């Protein structure tokens, strides 16, 4: 990966992290389309507590950070870094698997 | 658009989970066959960006919001198969945020990564052909396909509700409500997708998979398989 592409990834990460940290606290807190329909149609009562409701970032709030906007923003930052890490690791695994396969196919 | 646990019965959720796992398996094989070193961090970035923008709920009607799904955006940027994997990664991470159910993960991957992402990308390819494939039209084509993909994903939820929905709501009412609200959300999806694709095209046009057909005849199986 060339220096330019690396710069693009770093700049893109800053944009994503900035949006998550600074813009997400000001996003609409109204229910999204599906949740609204579920509420209107009486389906929402069927949802129990989330299995990971005890997660330290459940509900896009960092446990222990009381200030609502800060908590939302920090959870977004955690999510962006985590998604980048998990995503890059997953794609790197696919890349490695491909290299291994192409080595095996080559006749000795 | 994230289905929580409890909306759809276990059998339907399991069936959707099996379809989703199969689709992600195919996507992983297709991605591995085409991925170069540069593609690894780029795909990670696309996933991270979609995570961030999915948090930015915008109002669409009184007391209702919507947010980017990102399936078409990811597909246009890194290709349909890698794009579907990006959305699956986002959905997996979001489960840690208690967004989208755990037994519903397969339903959500099916709706947003596969139906929205791959289905939306097929629309993108068809619309791109209609416009003659001009680069200047790519952001608009991506935006229109992205907007329609939200309605496709909403339709997938309606089918799942018809098959195994709980709560006793009428399928017709769910279909009408889902379609109308997601047509509005699709406008936001289209605008965000078009703006993002236009920005990347301006900065690094070589990084937009959906615009690469101009540079060379792109006959890799990743595109053929979605009906180009």
The reply to whether residue A82 touches residue B96, judged by beta carbons under 8 angstroms, is yes
For the segment B52-73, the average pLDDT, to the nearest whole number, is 97
Q: Which two tokens stand for residue B30?
A: 């297709």
C-alpha span between B74 and B43 (Å, rounded): 8
- Residues of chain B in contact with residue A52, where contact means CB-CB under 8 angstroms, are 95-98, 102
Cα separations (Å) of B165 from A23, B20, B195? 35, 18, 36
Q: Among B156, B162, B190, which Cα is nearest to B23's?
A: B156
pLDDT of B120 above 90? yes
Round the average pLDDT of chain A to a whole number and report it: 92
The reply to whether residue A94 touches residue B45, judged by beta carbons under 8 angstroms, is no
pLDDT of A5 above 60? yes
For the segment B190-212, the average pLDDT, to the nearest whole number, is 96
CA distance B228 to chain A (A): 25
pLDDT of B225 above 50? no
- Residues of chain B in contact with residue A5, where contact means CB-CB under 8 angstroms, are 38, 41-42, 204, 207
Structure confidence at residue A102 (pLDDT): 74
For the segment B160-184, the average pLDDT, to the nearest whole number, is 96
Helices and strands in chain B: count of H runs, count of E runs:
9, 2
For the segment B62-70, the average pLDDT, to the nearest whole number, is 96
Q: Which two tokens stand for residue B72?
A: 């078409």
Round the average pLDDT of chain B to a whole number and report it: 93
Residue whose entry in the numeric block shows the structure tokens 């000001």: A26
Could you give the angle at which helices B10-34 and B138-164 cross, rounded to 10 degrees? 150
pLDDT of A39 above 80? yes
C-alpha span between B64 and A37 (Å, rounded): 9
Structure confidence at residue B182 (pLDDT): 98
Structure confidence at residue B214 (pLDDT): 59
Cα separations (Å) of B215 from A12, A82, B98, B132? 24, 34, 43, 14
Structure confidence at residue B9 (pLDDT): 96
The predicted model scores a pTM of: 0.93
| A62 three-state secondary structure | coil
For the segment B202-218, the average pLDDT, to the nearest whole number, is 79
Residue of chain A whose alpha carbon sits nearest to that of B90: A83
Cα of first residue to Cα of last residue in chain A, in angstroms, is 30
What percent of chain B shows pLDDT beyond 90?
A: 88
Task: Tell me how many degrees the CA angle A26-A29-A31 measures, rounded to the nearest 5.
Answer: 150
DSSP A4-48: HHHHHHHHHHHHHHHIIIIIGGGS--S-BHHHHHHHHTT-GGG--
Residue of chain A whose alpha carbon sits nearest to that of B108: A34
pLDDT category at A1 given cuts 50, 70, 90 is low
Cα of first residue to Cα of last residue in chain B, in angstroms, is 28
The reply to whether residue A19 touches residue B56, judged by beta carbons under 8 angstroms, is yes
C-alpha span between B173 and B177 (Å, rounded): 6
pLDDT category at B220 given cuts 50, 70, 90 is low
Residue of A24, A43, A87, A97 to mutate for B, most B C-beta atoms under 10 A: A87
Residue whose entry in the numeric block shows the structure tokens 């396969």: A101
| B2 three-state secondary structure | coil
CA distance A39 to chain B (A): 11
Structure confidence at residue B216 (pLDDT): 46
| Tens-place pLDDT, residues A52-73 | 999 999 999 999 999 999 999 9
pLDDT category at B131 given cuts 50, 70, 90 is very high
For the segment A3-29, the average pLDDT, to the nearest whole number, is 95
């Amino acid at each position: 990966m060339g220096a330019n592409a690396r710069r693009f990834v770093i700049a893109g990460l800053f944009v994503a992290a900035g949006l998550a940290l600074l813009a997400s606290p000001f996003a609409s807190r109204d229910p999204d389309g599906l949740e609204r329909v579920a509420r209107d149609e009486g389906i929402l009562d069927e949802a129990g507590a989330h299995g990971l409701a005890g997660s330290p970032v459940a509900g896009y709030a960092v446990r222990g950070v009381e200030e609502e906007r800060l908590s939302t923003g920090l959870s977004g930052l955690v999510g962006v870094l985590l998604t980048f890490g998990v995503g890059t690791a997953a794609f790197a695994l696919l890349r490695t698997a491909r290299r291994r396969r192409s080595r095996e196919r080559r006749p000795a | 658009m994230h289905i929580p646990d409890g909306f759809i019965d276990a059998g339907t959720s399991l069936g959707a989970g099996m379809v989703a796992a199969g689709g992600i398996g195919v996507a992983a094989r297709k991605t591995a066959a085409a991925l170069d070193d540069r593609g690894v961090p780029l795909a990670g970035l696309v996933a991270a960006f979609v995570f961030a923008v999915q948090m930015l709920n915008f109002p669409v009607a009184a007391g209702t919001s919507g947010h980017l799904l990102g399936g078409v955006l990811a597909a246009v940027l890194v290709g349909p198969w890698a794009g579907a994997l990006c959305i699956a990664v986002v959905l997996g991470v979001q489960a840690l945020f208690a967004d989208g159910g755990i037994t519903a993960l397969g339903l959500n991957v099916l709706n947003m990564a596969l139906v929205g992402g791959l289905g939306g990308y097929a629309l993108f390819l068809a619309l791109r052909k209609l416009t003659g494939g001009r680069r200047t039209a790519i952001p608009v084509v991506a935006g229109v396909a992205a907007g329609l993909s939200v309605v496709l994903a909403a339709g997938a939820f309606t089918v799942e509700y018809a098959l195994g929905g709980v709560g006793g709501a009428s399928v017709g009412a769910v279909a009408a409500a889902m379609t109308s609200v997601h047509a509005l959300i699709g406008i936001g999806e289209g605008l965000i997708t078009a703006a993002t694709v236009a920005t990347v095209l301006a900065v690094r046009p070589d990084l937009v998979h959906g615009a690469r057909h101009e540079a060379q005849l792109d006959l890799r199986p990743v595109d053929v398989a979605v009906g180009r």
